[in-house]
Amino acid sequence: MVDRSSPPLSGTSLVLRLAAIAVVVGAVAGAFAYVNGTFDPQRLTPKKLVNVLETNNGVHPGFRRNHAKGVCVIGHFESSGEARSYSTAQVFNEARTPVVGRFALPAGSPYAPDGAVPIRSLALRFTQANGQQWRTGMNSMPVFPVGTPEAFYQFQQALSPLPATGKPDPAAVPAFFASHPETAPFLAWVKTAKPSASYVTENYNSVNAFYLVNATGQKQAVRWNMVPVAKDAPGAMAPQGSDYLEKDLVQRIATGPLRWQLMITLANPGDPTNDASKPWPEGRKVINAGTLVLESTQPQLDGECRDINYDPLVLPAGIEGSDDPLLAARSAGYANSYLRRTSEVSQLPAAKQEAQQ
């Protein structure tokens, strides 16, 4: 074959050419490092969000980094057909859709006492006949304390223990609330909120806004509530002890299925979809999309809900995320937490013994 080698380069020319190659390769590598955040330590990343939760709550291998204490529930959803004209999602069109859910305490430790926070959460995964899924993580509060992931991160930082004392700075949280007026609706609610005695009597709110999309492509902004059919007796109080919620749930479900109505609130034009800290005004149209029926429970350590990441952006055709910035942050943060805890599954049995001590 023909030897296509060219005459040798002069020393200077060789150095210049090698330098040019280094510049090109360095530029590509630099652009990559820019994109992955290496040059931007201020950028809020999923890793930082989950790290601050670990700083505040400790690391409990194998458990969720937030809402760590919970219990799996199995059941189904019975559509009323009322949401059909707003969304093509099969869950609203089929009579029954199977559900795997999880009740939890919004705290970072799997051993937190049930009275530690006045909030309870319910996460659900609906599996449609066509294989698509709807995952939602709801909380028993009407609004989120803040509207952006950055503010949520700053709030978690205010709760972080100081290296010197091992305790959070007592002035940090009041200072955070003072500098974040958007927390006012949440603070007004939390003032009257008491830790409930049961998961079963709580109202669970999507908090974030979504869109229902119908067959003609029309989008309707919505938030939804799972409204319990069971009501507490007047004056019902949370019992003594720290683990009453799961026991109560198991007892109640043993006597028959538990039900919630899926109430979907339709936004008026102009209602904020991008700020979960703002409630929508009263008087919005509400439709009853159907009934959630929960039939049995499973322990979270080996139940079906354990390995489900209740990412609120896993949605079927006919439901879409809104422009609420918390949605993408939840999705990104949950994915990071999910990788951490699924890497630690083998450490869970030890945690089981720890819990029994």
Partner 1 sequence: MSAQPNHFAPLARLLHWLMALMIIAMLFIGAGMVASVSERHEWLIHLHKPLGVAILLLVIVRLAVRFSTRQPPLPADLPGWQVLAAKASHVLLYVLMLVLPLLGWAMISASGEPVMLGSSLQLPSIMPANASLFAFLRKAHGYLAYLLFLTVLVHLAAALFHGWVRRDGVLDSMLRGKDRG
Catalytic residue numbers read 67
Choose between 44 and 91: whose C-beta lies nearer to partner 1. 44
Picking from 340, 266, 258, the residue whose alpha carbon sits closest to that of residue 64 is 340
**For the residues of 275-336, what is the DSSP string, one character each?**
-TTSPPPTT--EEEEEEEEEEEEEETTTSTTTT----TT---TTEEE-S-HHHHHHHHHHHH
Task: Provide, rounded to whole angstroms, the least separation between the CB of residue 218 and partner 1.
Answer: 15
Choose between 120 and 306: whose C-beta lies nearer to partner 1. 306
Choose between 288 and 347: whose C-beta lies nearer to partner 1. 347
H or E segment and range at residue 126: strand 121-127
SS3 105: strand
Task: Provide, rounded to whole angstroms, the least separation between the CB of residue 261 and partner 1.
Answer: 27
Task: Provide, rounded to whole angstroms, the least separation between the CB of residue 329 and partner 1.
Answer: 4
Instruction: Give the footprint of partner 1 on this chain (CB under 8 A).
Output: 1-6, 9, 14, 17-18, 20-21, 24-25, 28-29, 31-32, 35-37, 43-47, 49, 130-133, 149, 306-309, 311, 313-314, 317, 320-321, 323, 325, 327-329, 331-333, 338-339, 341-343, 345-346
- φ/ψ of 231, rounded to 5, equals -120, 145
Q: Are 96 and 78 in contact (CB under 8 A)?
A: yes
Task: Provide, rounded to whole angstroms, the least separation between the CB of residue 188 and partner 1.
Answer: 27
Query: How far is residue 74's CA from residue 89's CA, in Å, rounded to a whole number?
Result: 21
Q: Are 300 and 307 in contact (CB under 8 A)?
A: no
Choose between 29 and 187: whose C-beta lies nearer to partner 1. 29
Picking from 248, 123, 145, the residue whose alpha carbon sits closest to that of residue 191 is 145
Query: How far is residue 206's CA from residue 222's CA, in Å, rounded to a whole number?
Result: 9
- Cross-strand bridge partners of residue 136: 124
Task: Provide, rounded to whole angstroms, the least separation between the CB of residue 44 and partner 1.
Answer: 5
Choose between 120 and 330: whose C-beta lies nearer to partner 1. 330
SS3 114: coil
H or E segment and range at residue 79: strand 69-79
- Cross-strand bridge partners of residue 79: 290
